[in-house]
Structure 1
Amino acid sequence: MKALLPFVRMLLAHRGWVFAGMLLSLLTLLAAIGLLTLSGWFISASALAGVSVLSARQFNYFTPGAGVRGFAIARTVGRYFERVTTHEATFRMLAELRSWFYRRLEVLGPARLQAFRSADLLNRLVADINALDNLYLRVLVPTLVALAVSILVVLFIARYSPAIALLTTVALLLAGVLLPMLAQYAGRRLGRLQLLLLSRLRVRLLALVQGQADLHIYGGVDTSIQEAQAVERQLQRTQLRMALISGLTTAVLTIIAGVAGVGALVLGTELVLSDVIAPAHLAMLLFCVLAVFEAVAPLPLAYQYLSKTITAAERLNEVSGASAGVCYPDADLEVPVIPGQIMLRDVCMRYTEHAPLALDQLSLSVAPGEHVLVLGHTGSGKSSLINLLARFYDPEAGAVELSGCPVRSYSETTLRAQMSVLSQPVQLFAGSVADNLSLALPDASPSELLEVLRRVCLDQVLGDNPLEYQIGESGSRLSGGQRKRLALARALLKPSPLLVLDEPTEGLDAVTEAAVIKGVLDSCQGRTVLMISHHLQMANHFDRIIVLDRGCVIEAGTPVELAERPDSRYNQLRAL
């Protein structure tokens, strides 16, 4: 239950809606019980009054008739506004929860989020948060309202018969306390399993949809479908068992209410025969006893699924409670003094505690406005260099400086303003070309957007109006090279002193690659460019080349200097 406490506190932020919903729920339930109770008395009293002409004339039909109509109207109107307020409170809480959860995800960064699958995170953001609507709508409000209504009704019945009040109290304890406890115990494991199976099924289905092309190529579609179907069958069996528990608790609740009604009828009959209460009061008490079970009727089902709600809360707390891999100061401790400068001194970095070093005593420097090409085979530490500069990870040892100051001294906003990064792989968003470009510079004019498309040779291949071209989900309507160039254009558009490019020409032919690199470098005069690549065709266009191997700089120099060394790694790479 401790897992639910943070979310209960979130409800207090909307306490106006929360308490209004509770009050309306209480009044609505009291109106429903009052309607049935008064109707029982009214019908019985009217029947008895009709025994003689005199009693019929003396009987007041109008007051109880108005009461019945008043209770009926109050129940109908109250039910409507109770639904409005309780659902408004729930939806407000769910909306706040999604924003809260996303903010927790954002601060974790890539270092921590790698421990979770994206489909699982999406399931937590959507399904697990939706499961928390059970907390307010089906647990807190019904429990508190049932307690208040039960006390009021028992006190009312006690005015006429303490024995019937005691019987009603025992029956309410059985139906409203013991039965929900048994339902929670019976559904504890199944509710948790149901949520986990639902998450597992969604992960498998998302993987099946996203990986259709490869699954078709390698003949794995049937196997993937069978695995998803196996999880679905297990989920269906779990849901069936939960439904059986729900049916059983409903039957037991009906039996308890029926026994309480029969007991109230027997005790009430004795009281009528003893002239302790009037005959019409017997029907009133009997209907009141039967009606009060409406207050506790939702509780067994709510507590049966409480374990599902608790599991959802635990899964959300697991992510939100994770410590951030990188912590940024709230305000800049230092301000950039040499925009575009990069300096790394004896940097060591590893991705997990026991993993091998990705960077080992790495030292390098890049001057402002310098265009540098970083070469190296896969696993040599090129992408790790980007992760350090973007501060997705912090080094284990050594110093990382950007624009003349340690990267640790910048707030996240200032750090992001210092660089524009083309990552690997690229991420595009469904919409138009202009929509994707505008992420880098929201107030860019159409002419600026067309110019940057021209720089990457993408202005002539997307039709007459390239800015309005719809690229599809994740750029599915673009080729691999076009996706890369669109992401490159977006990186170019961001006005930052440093441009970091990870394999920007991957998937391009030699002619297009040469044109794109020339367009990029021409547009970055006075701007620092750090480009990571396996390709050497355009190496001569860079001011300097740095070659990495096993996380270390093994050689650095101008293209001419390295080419003049017969045994240089640069020449070895050119010879491949």
Structure 2
Amino acid sequence: MKVKELAVLSKAMMQERKDILLSIMFGFIAGTAGVALFSASGYMISQTVFAPPLYTLIVLTSMVKLLGFVRAASRYGERLASHRATFSILSRLRTTFFAKLIPLTPGILNKNRSGDLLARIVGDVESLQHYFLRVAYPPVMVVMVFLCTVIFTAVYSFWIACLLVAGMLITAFVVPGLVVSWQRKRSDQVRQQRAKLSSEVTEVLYGFRDLKIYGQLAQREQMLEQASDSLAREQQRSAAQLLRGQSMHILVTYLVTWGVLAIAAFLIGKGELSGVFLGMLILAAQTVFEESAAMAVLPAYKQDSEYAAIRLAETVQPGDVKDIQAERAEQDEPGQQGKRGKISQDLQGNHSMIVDGPAVAIELSNVSFQYEGEWRAALKEVSLHFAPGSKTAIVGPSGSGKSTILDLLLKLRTPSSGVLRLNEVSINELNEESIWRNTRVVLQQSHFFRGTIRDNLLADDQNLDEEREAERLLRVLNAVQLQHLSLKDIVYEKGENLSDGEKQRLAIARAMLRPGTLWLLDEPTSALDYVTEARVMKNLMAQAVNDTLLLICHRLTGLEQMHQIVVMDQGRVVETGTFDELMSQKGYFYEMKQIELQMIGDQGA
């Protein structure tokens, strides 16, 4: 694992150093107490053969009981401290990863399949929880407990101590090395199959209805079964190789134990070792290798942790996860700090959007933007000005860059060049959360959570008194022509039980309930019929009469009331003006309007 990929994990571990030190202390006491317990038991058994005095047996029995209590209590303390540290580290890792991930949306959603991204967010973060318990912790315990045991056995026999050292080296390095060589290719295959299955399951869940309609569900189910079977087979092979490593560890343990027995018997025969110590040394050797059992599976957990860290680092590229505060500081423009009436500074140094007047002024100066991997720019040197309180419609064919402007204003994306300003302040100086908080937004696709109509209307304010707010909510529902709905009506996840038109009107109602004097509307009524659209827009315009409003639309009806119409094509502004001005010019907008009138006439006929 590279240092930069381990940095976040190391930082999280350092923050839990108290519990880590406690777990090491308790683990060492438990390990040495276990070796001492079985050594004392072996010595006591051997002493009983020679019919020692009663007080000797009382002392040995009491020592065994005391060591058993110490071992159990310290093992409990070790488990408590180590698992508390592990879960705290996992919580910090999850929080850190999400903090780095959030600024990258929505662009990151275009780089990764949803299932793969979900596997990284859940599975890879969860995999890192094993790093401390299964990777960093066992070697420390093995070295400390083995060292004490070797020193203890060296008092009785140098050769037995050397044999324990040899056994430790084999179980700590040779066996894990063999497991690594077996697991390297197999682990990669398991991870690839798991990511593939996660991606396929996610796509089937998202596209279940379309697959059902087009008769592709059975084929997809078969693909899922094949992917699941492949993953199960790879996991079985991986588990078999881990078991092989554990079996080798047990084999080495018994070989060392038989070696201790042979050496001790030889030394007893020569009179260099008292026979009463034979059981003690054998049980000590057998017990101490229990502490190194975790070394057999350490490589597998180490590979999983490294792979997870690499995937998470790839998800949030180093260039994309610069400290947000530093990035804003780099982007601040000189001369803006004096405009205290336009912006304020919060405790973290970010600027909050505070508007003096009744509405927001918007300015785009030579703004260009190009999506990553695209061969053409979505916006090309666009310069626009929207006066405070103005109503502007942005029209044009699909792919002309209309929605991209809204994304830039919401700081969901960063322009490749040029400057955007709100109330003469660069948008780079504004905290994106304050922009969202002071903007009424309706995007093409709005998300709805499982709950009631009321829950979805008040998605950002659930602490309001229901009775006091009921009248206001019902009034808004009536304004968007949803008077047939009750506040207690259930909404399924993603609004599956609502029509597209109901979803759009519910999204508009949600925006009408929010604070803010800037409206950004992206095709808010595309699924509505002309009559309902006219009623909804009339009520919306009445509420936004003093606010700045940007409306992206394909329909050209009802634009007579707009102060300005911006016509875009292929990322450029081709025409601007009022409805009458553009119609009199008989340019691009005029041609679009004639086509629309012809289509409406054909439908009426």
SS in 2 for 1:345: strand
Question: What is the distance in 2 between the residues matched to 1:171 and 1:324?
Answer: 48
CA drift of 1:354 comes to 4.9
Q: 1:32-431, aligned counterparts within 5 Å?
A: 32-49=34-51, 55=52, 57=53, 60-324=56-320, 327-329=327-329, 330-332=349-351, 339-352=359-372, 354-431=374-451
Q: Counterpart of 1:571 in structure 2: which amino acid? A: K
Which string of whole-angstrom CA distances, capped at 9 and with x for unpartnered residues, describes residues 48-80 of structure 1? 22xxxxx4x455111111111112222223333
Q: Counterpart of 1:252 in structure 2: which amino acid? A: M
Residues 64 and 383 from structure 1, CA distance in 2 versus in 1: closer, same or farther, beyond 3 angstroms?
Answer: same
Aligned partner (choices 478, 485, 496) of residue 462 of structure 1:
485
Residues 317 and 352 from structure 1, CA distance in 2 versus in 1: closer, same or farther, beyond 3 angstroms?
Answer: closer
SS in 2 for 1:534: coil
Q: 1:417-496, aligned counterparts within 5 Å?
A: 417-441=437-461, 445-458=469-482, 460-463=483-486, 466=487, 468-496=488-516
SS in 1 for 2:272: coil
Question: What is the distance in 1 between the residues matched to 2:271 and 2:54?
Answer: 21
Which string of whole-angstrom CA distances, capped at 9 and with x for unpartnered residues, describes residues 225-275 of structure 1? 232233223222221221221222222212211111111111111222333
SS in 2 for 1:60: helix
Q: Counterpart of 1:147 in structure 2: which amino acid? A: V
Counterpart in 2 of 1:14? 16
Which string of whole-angstrom CA distances, capped at 9 and with x for unpartnered residues, describes residues 278-299 of structure 1? 2221110011011111011111
Question: What is the distance in 2 between the residues matched to 1:173 and 1:426?
Answer: 60
Q: Which moved more, 1:329-338 or 1:354-363?
A: 329-338
Counterpart in 2 of 1:574? 596
Which string of whole-angstrom CA distances, capped at 9 and with x for unpartnered residues, describes residues 194-217 of structure 1? 223212211111111121101111
Residues 222 and 46 from structure 1, CA distance in 2 versus in 1: closer, same or farther, beyond 3 angstroms?
Answer: same
Counterpart in 1 of 2:6? 4
Which string of whole-angstrom CA distances, capped at 9 and with x for unpartnered residues, describes residues 113-134 of structure 1? 4212232222112111111122
SS in 2 for 1:526: coil
Q: Counterpart of 2:397 in structure 1: which amino acid? A: H
CA drift of 1:184 comes to 1.8
Q: Which moved more, 1:357-366 or 1:6-15?
A: 357-366
Residues 48 and 22 from structure 1, CA distance in 2 versus in 1: closer, same or farther, beyond 3 angstroms?
Answer: same
Q: Counterpart of 1:451 in structure 2: which amino acid? A: R
Q: 1:505-520, aligned counterparts within 5 Å?
A: 505-520=525-540
Does the CA-based 8 Å contact 1:347-1:398 persist in structure 2? yes
Counterpart in 1 of 2:334? none
Question: What is the distance in 2 between the residues matched to 1:345 and 1:273?
Answer: 96
Does the CA-based 8 Å contact 1:134-1:302 persist in structure 2? no
CA drift of 1:400 comes to 2.1
Does the CA-based 8 Å contact 2:176-2:299 persist in structure 1? yes
CA drift of 1:160 comes to 0.7
Counterpart in 1 of 2:579? 559
Which string of whole-angstrom CA distances, capped at 9 and with x for unpartnered residues, describes residues 164-191 of structure 1? 1111110111112211122122212222
Does the CA-based 8 Å contact 2:353-2:438 persist in structure 1? no
SS in 1 for 2:554: coil
Q: Counterpart of 1:23 in structure 2: which amino acid? A: M
CA drift of 1:443 comes to 5.7
CA drift of 1:511 comes to 2.1
Does the CA-based 8 Å contact 2:444-2:523 persist in structure 1? yes
Question: What is the distance in 2 between the residues matched to 1:417 and 1:263?
Answer: 73
Q: Counterpart of 2:544 in structure 1: which amino acid? A: C
Does the CA-based 8 Å contact 1:418-1:497 persist in structure 2? yes
Does the CA-based 8 Å contact 2:410-2:432 persist in structure 1? no
Q: Counterpart of 1:192 in structure 2: which amino acid? A: D
Question: What is the distance in 2 between the residues matched to 1:506 and 1:481?
Answer: 8
SS in 1 for 2:521: strand
Does the CA-based 8 Å contact 1:332-1:411 persist in structure 2? yes
Residues 286 and 353 from structure 1, CA distance in 2 versus in 1: closer, same or farther, beyond 3 angstroms?
Answer: closer
CA drift of 1:418 comes to 4.5
Does the CA-based 8 Å contact 1:547-1:570 persist in structure 2? no
Q: Counterpart of 2:164 in structure 1: which amino acid? A: T
Q: Which moved more, 1:68-77 or 1:433-442?
A: 433-442
Does the CA-based 8 Å contact 2:39-2:284 persist in structure 1? yes
Question: What is the distance in 1 between the residues matched to 2:388 and 2:595?
Answer: 27
Does the CA-based 8 Å contact 1:341-1:368 persist in structure 2? yes
Which string of whole-angstrom CA distances, capped at 9 and with x for unpartnered residues, describes residues 293-312 of structure 1? 10111111121332122101
SS in 2 for 1:553: strand
The Cα RMSD (Å) is 2.3
Does the CA-based 8 Å contact 2:29-2:74 persist in structure 1? yes
Residues 353 and 138 from structure 1, CA distance in 2 versus in 1: closer, same or farther, beyond 3 angstroms?
Answer: closer
Q: Counterpart of 2:21 in structure 1: which amino acid? A: F
Q: Counterpart of 1:20 in structure 2: which amino acid? A: L
Residues 106 and 478 from structure 1, CA distance in 2 versus in 1: closer, same or farther, beyond 3 angstroms?
Answer: same
Between the aligned residues of both structures, percent identity stands at: 29
Residues 99 and 561 from structure 1, CA distance in 2 versus in 1: closer, same or farther, beyond 3 angstroms?
Answer: same
Residues 455 and 322 from structure 1, CA distance in 2 versus in 1: closer, same or farther, beyond 3 angstroms?
Answer: farther
Q: How many residues align?
A: 566
Q: Counterpart of 1:234 in structure 2: which amino acid? A: S
Does the CA-based 8 Å contact 1:340-1:402 persist in structure 2? yes
Counterpart in 2 of 1:24? 26
Counterpart in 2 of 1:52? none
Does the CA-based 8 Å contact 2:27-2:141 persist in structure 1? yes
CA drift of 1:500 comes to 0.5
Which string of whole-angstrom CA distances, capped at 9 and with x for unpartnered residues, describes residues 391-413 of structure 1? 22233333322222222232323
Q: Which moved more, 1:207-216 or 1:342-351?
A: 342-351
Does the CA-based 8 Å contact 2:32-2:148 persist in structure 1? no
Does the CA-based 8 Å contact 1:191-1:306 persist in structure 2? no
Residues 98 and 48 from structure 1, CA distance in 2 versus in 1: closer, same or farther, beyond 3 angstroms?
Answer: same
Q: Counterpart of 2:15 in structure 1: which amino acid? A: A
Residue ranges of structure 2 left out of the alignment (5+ in a row): 330-348, 600-605
Does the CA-based 8 Å contact 1:350-1:359 persist in structure 2? yes
Q: Quick check: 1:500 aligned with 2:524?
A: no
Question: What is the distance in 2 between the residues matched to 1:193 and 1:309?
Answer: 15
Q: Counterpart of 2:429 in structure 1: which amino acid? A: S
Aligned partner (choices 550, 554, 558) of residue 534 of structure 1:
554
